Structure 1
Amino acid sequence: MLNQIVPYQESYHDKLIDIWYRAVKLTHTFLTDEDIEFYHQMLQSGALRQVEIWLELSENKEPSGFIGLDGTKIEMLFIDPDYHRKGIGSRLIKHAEAIKGSHLQVDVNEQNDAAYAFYKGSGFVQTGRSELDGSGRPFPLLHLELKS
């Protein structure tokens, strides 16, 4: 059985929060534990339910990664660290492009070099920069758009 991309179901909520937490601890080394807890609380308080979530299920039917969309904007893309570098992020972006069109946008933390490199390798180009993140915190964002 191949991996499949499916829409969000409430039964996956806690697993997705766990994937987010472990991925952020690994990849967002510029955040303090207090910063991570701030964002963790936002997710636990319902942030996942405010966007359109698609997730990839592994062969054992467990979520291995997810993408959150608000229209054509990628609001979140997190992959279980046990599944990094297996093409899940690329497949989720291709799925988003298939359902939303090729005008996808994403904001990436400037300090997250790996995420920037991933999106650049996926065809995204920088179109702007903000000093603060979406929560008004001092984590600069790079604004990227998918080249069509």
Structure 2
Amino acid sequence: MDYRKATKEDYPLILKIWEQSVIATHPFLSIKDREAIKLEIPNYFPHLAIQIWFVNHAVVGFSALQEDYLEMLFLDGHSIGKGYGKQILNQLIKDFSIKKVDVNEQNHNAKKFYLKNGFIQVGRDAVDSEGRAYPILHLKLA
């Protein structure tokens, strides 16, 4: 597993991966909300440290960080369920000292993934950062 720092030229690829992943893993998200979030996300990119992840030179996903906080970890739709998420998370903890992440409460697979990989729940918000009815769980590395 390799990674490199993303550039502005990677933003369309990152957004494509995000959308494929969300369609595959966020069935609770309405199409209207998914499209609204898709428009919002690129505004955050310049403020985040984004990594593009590769296996044998093929892109499998991306991560986005802010200090010790994992803002985003999304895998290409074809890469989900192959163990890449765990490899990426372990590398992020090792190389970037990631300690915190938020997940949608309705995203049961993501919650299970982070809890299985050493995170514990430390808080909950009833809505997301834009006030939408998608509760957010705050997790930290135990």
**Offset at residue 62 of structure 1 (A):** 3.8
Q: Are the structure 2 counterparts of residues 120 and 106 from structure 1 closer, same or farther at C-alpha, using a change threshold of 3 Å?
A: same
RMSD of aligned residue pairs (Cα, Å): 1.4
Mark the runs of 5 or more structure 1 residues left unpaired by the alignment: none
Residue in structure 1 matching 2:23, options 22, 25, 43: 25
Task: Please give the alpha-carbon distance, in whole angstroms, between the structure 1 residues aligned to 2:51 and 2:83.
Answer: 15
Which AA in structure 2 matches 1:108?
A: V
Instruction: Return the alpha-carbon distance in structure 2 between the equivalents of residues 53 and 87 of structure 1.
Output: 20
Identity of counterpart residues, as a percentage? Answer: 31
Distance (whole Å) between structure 2 residues aligned to residue 49 and residue 89 of structure 1: 23
TM-score (norm 2): 0.92
- Select the residue among 14, 19, 24 that pairs with 1:16: 14
Task: Give the aligned length.
Answer: 142
For residues 75 and 134 of structure 1, the distance between their equivalents in structure 2, rounded to whole angstroms, comes to: 12
- Correspondence for 1:120: 115
Cα distance in 2, alignment partners of residues 48 and 25 from structure 1: 20
**3-state DSSP class of the match of 2:123?**
strand
Q: Which residue of 2 aligns with 1:99?
A: 95
- Secondary structure of 1:19's aligned partner: helix
Task: Tell me the CA shift for residue 64 of structure 1.
Answer: 1.1
1:135 aligns to what SS in structure 2? coil
> Could you tell me which amino acid in structure 2 is paired with residue 63 of structure 1?
V
**Residue pair 1:55, 1:92 contacting (<8 A) in 2 also:** no
Q: Which stretch shows the higher mean deviation, 50-59 or 137-146?
A: 50-59
Secondary structure at the counterpart of residue 138 of structure 1: coil
| Contact 1:54/1:92, CA 8 A, preserved across alignment | no
Unaligned ranges ≥5, structure 2: none
